[in-house]
Amino acid sequence: MLTPIGIHRRLSGRHVKGRLVTAAHQIMNVVLGAIAVLIVASSAFVFDVVAGGLPAAGAGAALGVVVVALLVVLPRALVSHP
């Protein structure tokens, strides 16, 4: 998540703001996606160890739906409704 900051500091003053913002946006999307997968997989793993495979699959699926709703559906809904 610090990559966009490092890129900004290195390229400051070179008049590449548009490309910098686009690259930073893409990097942050990848990082947020990776964190979301990590959270869902970690939770499913804990459920698997504690309660078994079926509850783990249910918990992973439920948390996956929540994460997708918060990271994909909600932002699109906010943009489409002013």
Segment 32-76, tens digit of pLDDT: 999 999 999 999 999 999 999 999 999 999 999 999 999 999 989
Choose among 12, 16, 17, 21: nearest CA to 4: 21
Q: How many domains does the chain have?
A: 1
Look at residue 15 in the predicted model and tell me its pLDDT. Answer: 82
Q: Give the structural domain span for 34.
A: 3-80
Residues in the chain: 82
Specify the pTM: 0.76
Look at residue 24 in the predicted model and tell me its pLDDT. Answer: 84
Indicate the pLDDT class of residue 82, thresholds 50, 70 and 90.
low
Q: Which residue has the higher pLDDT, 6 or 82?
A: 6
Q: Is residue 20 within 8 Å of residue 7, measured between CB atoms?
A: yes
Q: How far apart are CA 60 and CA 82, in angstroms?
A: 33
